[in-house]
Structure 1
């Protein structure tokens, strides 16, 4: 399940990671860049092994270590460590570790770890970890962890864990844990556990668990939710926290809470607050009826223990001598069994009515109605019953304070399933 849920994120990771794999392989095999052209002025201490360069000014530089200041018009390559300030017009390449400040027009490439402030026009790539502040126009990619403030125009990728604050235009991908803040334009994906905040406009994914907050405009996905999922749609195989959205779906989750329009849980003891709540114990029924208001009604009823909700529609809200009108309604109520086959219930409903062609005959284009009712229902068989209802209706025009119509209501119909 973990692999399936983060497939999109890992695919994107693999696609971009392949472009840097030769560098990572180089760093782990302890090979250093080959000697090359050196068009620069250097102040170097050759008595130390490897030799240390304290000042480097030139066009293209290729030397052992930088312990100070290096400025080059095109590129700077150090075979071992870089400690200090390194600036180049195109690329900075370090065989092992970088500490200090790096600035390049295109890319900073480090065989192992980067520590400090790393700035590039396009890419920052590390064979080890990236720690501190990093900024790039396209992406920051590390073979291990990212820690600190990592900002990119498109994507941040950590082959292990990430912590701190990651900001990207498209996606943040962490193969293992994520701690802190992830903010992206489209996608945040963590292969393991999230212990912070994931914020995006499209999708948040936690391969193992969410112990923090997942906030997305479209959806949030994880295996175990112990924190909060907030979005249009939320999915968790096990919900022990809270899901807030239009549609919430969970497997097990009696300790969790679902708050939304539609709540679905595989646990019959889960806590749900919403318009439609579905558990394994929910009985879904079809109601067909007629009354003095809607002459033809059809509705789906979601019946739980002592509570139910209805969602449906009808036709001819006004008398039959009027043109066709249409309505959509939602009801919520309570029921109690009086006898083995007879039960009493009470509900309140909201109706939205489109008057259609009746608007040419002095009726508003659309109105709404509030309707409390009292109902009796009798089960003929296990999958067939009938009901009668009586109540009162207040019909009002939107954005107007006066009542358009008021009258008593009567309805009778069949219950299927």
Structure 2
């Protein structure tokens, strides 16, 4: 860590308040306290209360409403609502709502989302999500995620731990220690390169562990999918089974764990024995004849025959004793017969990661004379053409709604337009997907009408606003909606710029025939307005020998991954009562956030899209876009980098009640118009850890939507309002093995304009003009994702997410709910 890292966090936040950033040695303490300046202009403080606290030396207590920074020396307590930063020589305590940054120190850090400490830190870090300490000599990390890269003596406690060198102990759900732990690993899964380390857990893994995917059936469960971790003479099995025989003909399920001992008879044949515990769900209401859940203790003898380098055949005989949970009375006992196949995972093939080529496609198109944006003939801007096209979009959609769909709202007249202007803006009652996704997408069409006619990012923003304003006031007989204007403008800018840039990845004017047709077709699907203009102006079929590419991968690298698999959505948090369906997911990282040259808006953005292939659930279940508008990168002397910036966010979560379950909607929330500060930290590569990034974002939600338990008017069952969100994530890549990431998103939306004091019974719903139930709603999303390399391009992709909703109503009882979803699939990395 370096002082520049510490100071950058505070001064970048201060940039939003209009303060200068060019002189890091200048103190900006916006507050009051017991302060005095020394002869050398050093600011000493015995007590300081500030909006932005910033002192050189502190011997007392500093409280910053937004941030609190000590540059030189701290002997006390440093408290901030968002960020703490200490430059060096800390002995006291840091407390922050979001993040702590420290260089050197002997104290204690406390933060809700993240701790970062470097150099001589010895104290204790406490965090709800993650801790990062680049060399903790002693002490302890306690939090959701712990990372100590290179040498640590203390103990780590959390649901995930990583330590490149550890002489202490690790306690957590998942423990990873690369080099020589002298202590003990206690957790659900333990990994260590040192096979002599003491490991106490359900699964113990070392570099020699053989990992098999098992599929089998038999008398205990009809179908099973399991993972076997086999060491020299012991093994562990974790799996899930369906249709537990003996309950009834309906679907039921089992979650199980087995531990055993194996004996190699020949190089290809082995015998083994194990004991297992099964948790069984019947999905029925508890009764004397049909218990809701059971547990089973089972013993097995197994025979394994290796068929090839990656496959084996096995058969099992055993015995199971199944009992009730509440009184342990026997439900059933019987013999077990099973057989199946096992596939070994290859862990020796090359994994294509940041260590080889950080963004996968770097180097493609290095000839800078080939790019369309360098063509002198395409430099001219056409603002009036763009305006005419935005006008035409509204006319075309309005005519389609009126004369093809025969929609009542589209039967406009001069009288309806006059009435809309006279009535003014209201909050409408369209359904969730219409207001918070379809309208932003529509705004992207206006935006790209300008972008495809040569307008810059900022020059294109007014087209989204004016296009939406025209539609709201003239193209419907219903009064104009303020929420539509906001969602279409802000969300349209985000979706429009993302689709504009993604479509540039597809086009190549050198091609002919079917390859050219497919690229034009895909590009038009991604960005319809650009595709339409390419048809109108002949670019769709014009073959060029120069200026033929539309994206420079050398300047702006791109990383793309697509996943296909099976997703399980729980009903009200039930382990085996939910709905499964296939899914498709796309992940795109565009640009390098630490690049000092490519700094225009959206030269860096990320896009994560998830589609559910189920008739019961929405087609679009998740859309998560993050675009950088402005940034200030800082290079750290020891190889770590940090960039602070202003980011635009678009997040959309949608679901429906699960099939044949309760009527509870698992989750539904959106931030269609959101912007705020954030920082991204990239730490040096150490050992097997080839990439480590930490991200923190705090943003204001201008318009968002959250599920309502009481408001049901026309098509709306959600509240709208404004608020804030905080997001934190940690990304780790482990060379040839794979990668993992952890994240936490917290959304808080306040509904200010309720309906409770209105005459609802005698009010036309379209003129009700309410945001929903007065109150506030919060959603906390925790997710973990693991990608295990199967080959150079193919990964095993596993993800689990938990959703906690807490909604407080002013005139109704509050509602708490929680649920989860999990998925497993194959990921292709391009």
Q: TM-score, normalised by structure 1?
A: 0.70
Q: Which 10-residue stretch deviates more, 289-298 or 265-274?
A: 265-274
Partner of 1:15, secondary structure, is: helix
**Counterpart position of 1:15:** 12
Match of residue 161, structure 2, among 217, 234, 250 = 234
Tell me, yes or no, if the aligned pair for 1:240 and 1:257 is still in contact at 8 Å: no
**Counterpart position of 1:96:** 38
**Counterpart position of 1:66:** none
Tell me, yes or no, if the aligned pair for 2:105 and 2:121 is still in contact at 8 Å: yes
Q: In the TM superposition, what is the alpha-carbon distance from 1:222 to its structure 2 partner? A: 1.8
Q: Residue deviations 1:114-150, cap 9 Å, x none?
A: 26x3132545422x32234444444432221212333
Tell me, yes or no, if the aligned pair for 2:218 and 2:336 is still in contact at 8 Å: yes
**Counterpart position of 2:264:** 337
Q: In the TM superposition, what is the alpha-carbon distance from 1:162 to its structure 2 partner? A: 1.4
**Counterpart position of 2:277:** 350
CA distance in 1, matches of 2:25, 2:216: 71
Tell me, yes or no, if the aligned pair for 1:24 and 1:111 is still in contact at 8 Å: no
**Counterpart position of 1:41:** none
Matched, 1:171 2:99: yes
Partner of 1:351, secondary structure, is: strand
Q: Which has the larger radius of gyration?
A: 1
Tell me, yes or no, if the aligned pair for 1:118 and 1:124 is still in contact at 8 Å: no
User: Structure 1 residues 381, 177: closer, same or farther in 2, change over 3 A?
Assistant: same
Q: In the TM superposition, what is the alpha-carbon distance from 1:198 to its structure 2 partner? A: 1.0
Q: In the TM superposition, what is the alpha-carbon distance from 1:315 to its structure 2 partner? A: 2.5
Match of residue 219, structure 2, among 273, 292, 301 = 292
Matched, 1:414 2:341: yes
Matched, 1:208 2:146: no
Matched, 1:189 2:116: yes
Q: In the TM superposition, what is the alpha-carbon distance from 1:223 to its structure 2 partner? A: 0.9
Tell me, yes or no, if the aligned pair for 1:324 and 1:358 is still in contact at 8 Å: no
Match of residue 146, structure 2, among 213, 220, 227 = 220
User: Structure 1 residues 171, 337: closer, same or farther in 2, change over 3 A?
Assistant: same
**Counterpart position of 2:84:** 156
Q: Residue deviations 1:23-68, cap 9 Å, x none?
A: 86358xxxxxxxxxxxxxxxxxxxxxxxxxxxxxxxxxxxxxxxxx
CA distance in 1, matches of 2:278, 2:286: 18
Matched, 1:25 2:25: yes
Matched, 1:327 2:269: no
User: Structure 1 residues 352, 11: closer, same or farther in 2, change over 3 A?
Assistant: farther
Q: Residue deviations 1:303-342, cap 9 Å, x none?
A: 1121111111223321598333222211111212233333
Question: Which 5+ residue runs of structure 1 have no aligned equivalent?
Answer: 28-88, 98-109
**Counterpart position of 2:232:** 305
User: Structure 1 residues 93, 351: closer, same or farther in 2, change over 3 A?
Assistant: closer
CA distance in 1, matches of 2:176, 2:308: 32
Matched, 1:131 2:131: no
Greater helix share, 1 or 2? 2
Tell me, yes or no, if the aligned pair for 1:322 and 1:358 is still in contact at 8 Å: no
Q: Which 10-residue stretch deviates more, 313-322 or 221-230?
A: 313-322
**Counterpart position of 1:112:** 42
Q: In the TM superposition, what is the alpha-carbon distance from 1:400 to its structure 2 partner? A: 2.5
Match of residue 147, structure 1, among 75, 99, 111 = 75
Q: In the TM superposition, what is the alpha-carbon distance from 1:7 to its structure 2 partner? A: 11
Tell me, yes or no, if the aligned pair for 1:96 and 1:111 is still in contact at 8 Å: yes
Q: In the TM superposition, what is the alpha-carbon distance from 1:286 to its structure 2 partner? A: 2.0
User: Structure 1 residues 137, 384: closer, same or farther in 2, change over 3 A?
Assistant: closer
Tell me, yes or no, if the aligned pair for 1:26 and 1:111 is still in contact at 8 Å: no
Tell me, yes or no, if the aligned pair for 1:325 and 1:358 is still in contact at 8 Å: no
CA distance in 2, matches of 1:211, 1:323: 56
Tell me, yes or no, if the aligned pair for 1:393 and 1:406 is still in contact at 8 Å: yes
CA distance in 2, matches of 1:184, 1:232: 17
Tell me, yes or no, if the aligned pair for 2:34 and 2:48 is still in contact at 8 Å: no
Q: Residue deviations 1:357-376, cap 9 Å, x none?
A: 69899321221211122223
Partner of 1:12, secondary structure, is: helix
Q: Which 10-residue stretch deviates more, 134-143 or 371-380?
A: 134-143
User: Structure 1 residues 379, 153: closer, same or farther in 2, change over 3 A?
Assistant: closer
User: Structure 1 residues 273, 11: closer, same or farther in 2, change over 3 A?
Assistant: farther
**Counterpart position of 1:30:** none
Partner of 1:162, secondary structure, is: coil
Partner of 2:25, secondary structure, is: helix
Q: Which has the higher contact order (CA 8 A, sep 6+)?
A: 2
CA distance in 1, matches of 2:337, 2:75: 67
Q: Residue deviations 1:222-278, cap 9 Å, x none?
A: 213321111122222223322211122332234353221122334444433222222
Tell me, yes or no, if the aligned pair for 1:302 and 1:309 is still in contact at 8 Å: yes
Matched, 1:314 2:256: no
**Counterpart position of 2:594:** none
Q: In the TM superposition, what is the alpha-carbon distance from 1:113 to its structure 2 partner? A: 5.3
Q: Residue deviations 1:285-310, cap 9 Å, x none?
A: 12222222213222211111211111
Matched, 1:395 2:322: yes
CA distance in 2, matches of 1:262, 1:412: 27
User: Structure 1 residues 137, 162: closer, same or farther in 2, change over 3 A?
Assistant: same
Partner of 1:404, secondary structure, is: strand
Q: TM-score, normalised by structure 2?
A: 0.37
Greater strand share, 1 or 2? 1
CA distance in 2, matches of 1:399, 1:321: 20
